[in-house]
Amino acid sequence: MSELDRLLAEARRLEPEPIDEETLDRTVARAALAGRARHRAWVRRRAILAMALGAAAAAAALHFALQPSTPSAPTAPARVATHEPAAATTPRERTDLALPTGDRLLAEEGA
């Protein structure tokens, strides 16, 4: 027996059993159902995505529709409108620096 004959005999021995007609029909039906289920899932996901995008677009449109077109002007504090003097504040801290050149710097908080 040659090497080729031995390989052919081993390949024939390892070949799967033939499938009967009933098993073949069940396998085809199962594959068709799986394909239909995948298609339905794809359609469902596409519909959900379309609804989500539509809801987001509607929310954005509503948000921009309800926004005022011009911002309101800033208002002055009530004390300015009634010409009341500002409340007395605590004295501010002062910093006095004497420079080596003889110059003097005076700094006040908030100045």
pLDDT per residue, tens digit, the chain (111 aa), is 789 999 999 998 888 888 899 999 999 999 988 988 989 999 999 999 999 999 999 999 999 998 877 767 777 666 666 666 666 666 678 888 888 898 998 888 776
d(CA 22, CA 28): 10
d(CA 19, CA 55): 52
The whole domain housing 25 covers 1-68
d(CA 11, CA 72): 86
**Contact (CB, 8 A) for 110 and 92:** yes
Residue 33 placed within a domain: yes
Residue 98 placed within a domain: no
Q: What is the pTM of this model?
A: 0.41
Residue 110 placed within a domain: no
Residue 54 placed within a domain: yes
Total of domains in the chain: 1
d(CA 39, CA 45): 10
Residue 12 placed within a domain: yes
Q: Where are the alpha helices (DSSP H) in 2-77?
A: 3-14, 21-66
